[in-house]
């Protein structure tokens, strides 16, 4: 039997009743996409459909995912977070223990270090999802890590922590103690409900503004140490290779960045007239203070409106009116954060970082993204 197309009920016609867990309208088809070159399901990553979203919060079901050894099935009743190393009192916090601490909720983005990296190599993504979809923003709820570290008593010799996940790869990342004592969150909630399994259920680390892989999922232990662990993910991976053969290590902060999501690649304008150019801007250093938009490839710029709320280390929605005259146009956006740092062009980044073959040199790219509006209304990446 052929699938039936959902239809709207006639006036006065009763619709379906309540359900135990809500679902979206059958007309809404937005979904994550998976990387075509993923080797195995265990190492797959998926991308958020940024062009389909409203506001700044990413629905939990559409939050991008990346993992190295599949998604473990962890029962919160068996959960324990070990805090040890250079502390006065090594402790194990059960899930129930974490729930007894005063909870805080904060909105923050998480961005994969490799997000939009192929733009640097001149292989731009065809849509916002393909170019910048390793980015999402949620309301995260949990316990500040500094509260747990205070319970354990951090020794004066402590300089770093080493966070380890409970996945099969035992993903491990080192974080300076100053950051750990600042705004890091041990999170068990996402957008008002439990963290999703692929996002680290039952407990994950949330490290605002820093590269995604530092936000260790399925958090199993925190070891307080006097030096970094020099794990695989901070030596062989997530380093920035320079043209002279050296590399930058521990490039934690995700710099100021923006992308226009409408009009954007994969979309089409029905004809000349009034439109709104809108998109997302963010910075790992704090608040976005300015977003400029150009319709002529960067020759002239117009300040966009920043929609409230404008929060530190969270996505900010920007928008500006635009009247398309039916001729070819080149759309770009660039943002500036509260430190005064302004998003660079691809050419400016390549001048410093060079170009690299294969998978190297793809992390921490934040160059300006370009969309081309053609005379027939089609918006493309080239």
- List pLDDT tens digits, range 236-286: 888 888 888 888 888 999 999 999 999 999 999 999 999 999 999 999 999
Q: Same structural domain for residues 88 and 221?
A: yes
Q: Same structural domain for residues 275 and 231?
A: no
| 3-state DSSP of the chain | CCCCCCCCCCCCCCCCCCCCCCCCCCCCCCCCEECCCCCCHHHCEEECCHHHCCCCCCCHHHCCEECCCCCCCCCHHHCEEEEEECECCCEEEEHHHHHHCCCEEEEEEEECCCCCHHHHCCCCCCCHHHHHCCEEEEEEEEEEHHHHHHHHCECCCCCEEEEEECCCCCCEEEEEHHHHCCCCEEEEEECCEECCHHHCCCCEEECCCECHHHCCCCEEEEEEECCCCCCHHHCCCCCEECCCCCEECCCCECCCEEEEEECCCCCECCCCEEEEEEEEEECCCCCEEEEEEECECCCCCEECEECCCCCCCCCEEEEEEEEECCCCEEEEEEEEECCCCECCCHHHHHHHHCCCCCCCCCCCCCCCCEEEECCCCEEECC
In a domain, 263, yes or no: yes
Count of domains forming the chain: 2
Share of the chain above pLDDT 90, in %: 78
Q: What is the mean pLDDT of the chain?
A: 92
Q: Same structural domain for residues 268 and 244?
A: no
Q: Same structural domain for residues 321 and 218?
A: no
For residue 208, the model assigns a pLDDT of 98
For residue 232, the model assigns a pLDDT of 85
In a domain, 168, yes or no: yes
Q: Same structural domain for residues 101 and 241?
A: yes
In a domain, 372, yes or no: yes
**CATH code assigned at 105:** 3.90.420.10
For residue 382, the model assigns a pLDDT of 84
pLDDT per position as a tens digit, 25-56 = 999 999 998 865 554 555 578 999 999 999 99
Question: Which of 248, 272, 292 marks a domain boundary?
Answer: 248
Q: Same structural domain for residues 210 and 343?
A: no
Q: Same structural domain for residues 230 and 262?
A: no
pLDDT per position as a tens digit, 329-348 = 999 999 999 999 999 999 99
In a domain, 61, yes or no: no
Question: Which of 229, 248, 267 marks a domain boundary?
Answer: 248
In a domain, 352, yes or no: yes
In a domain, 35, yes or no: no
Residues spanned by the domain of 96? 76-248
Q: Same structural domain for residues 340 and 198?
A: no
Q: Same structural domain for residues 149 and 278?
A: no
In a domain, 233, yes or no: yes
Quote the pTM value. 0.93
Q: Same structural domain for residues 279 and 215?
A: no
Question: Which of 201, 218, 248 marks a domain boundary?
Answer: 248
């Amino acid at each position: 039997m052929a699938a039936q197309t959902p239809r709207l009920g006639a006036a006065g016609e009763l619709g379906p009743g309540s359900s135990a867990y809500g679902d979206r309208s059958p007309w809404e088809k937005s979904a994550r996409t998976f990387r075509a070159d993923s080797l195995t399901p265990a190492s797959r990553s998926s991308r958020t459909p940024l062009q389909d979203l409203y506001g700044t919060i990413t629905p939990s079901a559409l939050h991008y995912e990346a993992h190295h050894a599949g998604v473990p099935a962890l029962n919160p009743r068996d959960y324990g977070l070990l805090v040890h190393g250079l502390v006065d009192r090594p402790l194990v916090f059960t899930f129930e223990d974490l729930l007894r601490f005063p909870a805080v909720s904060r909105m923050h983005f998480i961005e994969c270090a490799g997000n939009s990296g192929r733009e640097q190599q001149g292989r731009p993504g065809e849509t916002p999802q393909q170019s910048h979809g390793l980015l999402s923003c949620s309301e995260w709820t949990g316990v500040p890590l500094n509260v747990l570290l205070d319970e354990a008593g951090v020794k004066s010799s402590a300089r770093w922590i080493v966070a380890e996940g409970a996945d099969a790869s035992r993903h491990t990342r080192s974080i300076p103690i100053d950051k750990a004592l600042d705004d890091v969150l041990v999170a068990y909630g996402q957008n008002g409900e439990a963290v999703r399994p692929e996002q680290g259920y039952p407990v994950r680390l949330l490290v605002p503004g820093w590269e995604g892989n530092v936000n260790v999922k399925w958090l199993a232990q925190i070891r307080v140490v006097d030096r970094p662990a020099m794990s695989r993910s901070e030596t062989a991976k997530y380093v920035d290779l320079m043209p002279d053969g050296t590399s930058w290590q521990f490039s934690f902060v995700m710099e100021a960045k923006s992308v226009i999501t409408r009009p954007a690649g994969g979309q089409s304008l029905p004809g000349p007239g009034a439109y709104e150019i809108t998109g997302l801007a963010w910075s790992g250093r704090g608040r976005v203070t300015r977003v400029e938009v150009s319709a002529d490839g960067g020759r002239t710029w117009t300040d966009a409106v920043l929609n409230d709320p404008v929060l530190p280390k969270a996505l900010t929605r920007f928008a500006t009116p635009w009247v398309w005259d039916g001729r070819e146009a080149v759309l770009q956006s660039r943002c500036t954060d509260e430190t005064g740092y302004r998003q660079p062009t691809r050419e400016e980044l390549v001048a410093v970082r060079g170009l690299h073959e294969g998978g190297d040199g793809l992390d921490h790219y934040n160059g300006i993204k370009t969309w081309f509006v053609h005379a027939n209304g089609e918006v493309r990446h080239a």
